[in-house]
Chain A
């Protein structure tokens, strides 16, 4: 089954409601839409903003490859991923995944799979800007994020 994949990397904020309308509007076979939003948190009041760097070209391509893999695995109708770059303030949205399918399980699974792979495989890097004006340095990758990928190896039941 064919799946509409939309990937956008942008500095501007996005509107989740608009993306839900875009993914389900006009397609009467969509029965479920799952969204995931990743927000910039303040790390107990110490963080002022995040600066997100990306690899232009590869970021879009790699997310597209991850989305294609999700579409092969679950019967999803459409997948949308929007990821921001540049300076992002506390409480602002960083990333949005929208998955649409006939039944909810495919959309839930595809959205979770996309986020797990995006975190460890999509070429983005976060740098912290602290409230005291100092640069907090680059955020370290978490082993838990790598470990999250291995659970998708076990069978295809997702």
Chain B
């Protein structure tokens, strides 16, 4: 699946997008965030406060208990400040 990052999540991780294949057992958005934190210091720093991370699956907002099976694209970003 493709992960896309925005704003300070993108800056702290250091890339705008990447393709990943999470191991079996990574079932929900919350699991995905915890798994990503193990991938390096940048990830651990960017995702230090998982509750502050907003997530979209296939470009629609989801909660952290949402399952990620079948997701083509998952967006990770801070709370939004448009308008």
Asked whether A and B interact, the reply is yes
Taking Cβ atoms with an 8 Å cutoff, the residues of A that contact B are: 38, 52-55, 57-59, 61-62, 83, 94-95, 115, 118-127, 138-141
State in angstroms the CA–CA spacing of A139 and B83 once bound together.
Answer: 12
Do the beta carbons of B83 and A115 come within 8 Å of each other?
yes
- Which among B78, B79, B83 is the interface contact of A94 at CB below 8 angstroms? B83
Q: Which one of A120, A125, A140 has the greatest number of beta carbons of chain B within 10 Å? A: A125
**B80: chain A residues within 8 A (beta carbon):** 119-125, 141
Do the beta carbons of B77 and A55 come within 8 Å of each other?
yes
Q: With contacts A58-B75, A125-B7, A127-B7 known, is A139 near B81, CB below 8 A?
A: yes
Do the beta carbons of A95 and B56 come within 8 Å of each other?
no
Secondary structure type dominating chain A contacts = mixed
Taking Cβ atoms with an 8 Å cutoff, the residues of B that contact A are: 4, 6-8, 56, 59-61, 75, 77-83
Do the beta carbons of A125 and B83 come within 8 Å of each other?
no
Shortest distance between the CB of B2 and any CB in chain A (Å): 12
Q: Which residue of B lies closest to A83 (CB)?
A: B82
Do the beta carbons of B6 and A38 come within 8 Å of each other?
no
Q: With contacts A125-B77, A139-B81 known, is A53 near B6, CB below 8 A?
A: yes
State in angstroms the CA–CA spacing of A123 and B57 once bound together.
Answer: 13
Do the beta carbons of B7 and A95 come within 8 Å of each other?
no
Q: With contacts A53-B7, A138-B8 known, is A95 near B77, CB below 8 A?
A: no
Q: Which residue of A lies closest to B58 (CB)?
A: A58
Do the beta carbons of A58 and B56 come within 8 Å of each other?
yes
- Which among B8, B59, B83 is the interface contact of A95 at CB below 8 angstroms? B83
Do the beta carbons of A140 and B81 come within 8 Å of each other?
yes
A-B contact pairs, 21 of them (CB 8 A): A38-B83, A52-B82, A55-B75, A58-B56, A59-B82, A61-B60, A62-B59, A62-B60, A62-B61, A83-B82, A95-B83, A118-B83, A119-B80, A123-B77, A124-B81, A124-B83, A125-B78, A125-B81, A126-B81, A126-B82, A141-B78
**A115: chain B residues within 8 A (beta carbon):** 83
**B82: chain A residues within 8 A (beta carbon):** 52, 54, 59, 83, 95, 118-119, 122-126
5 smallest beta-carbon distances between A and B, as pairs? A124-B82, A141-B79, A125-B7, A58-B59, A119-B83
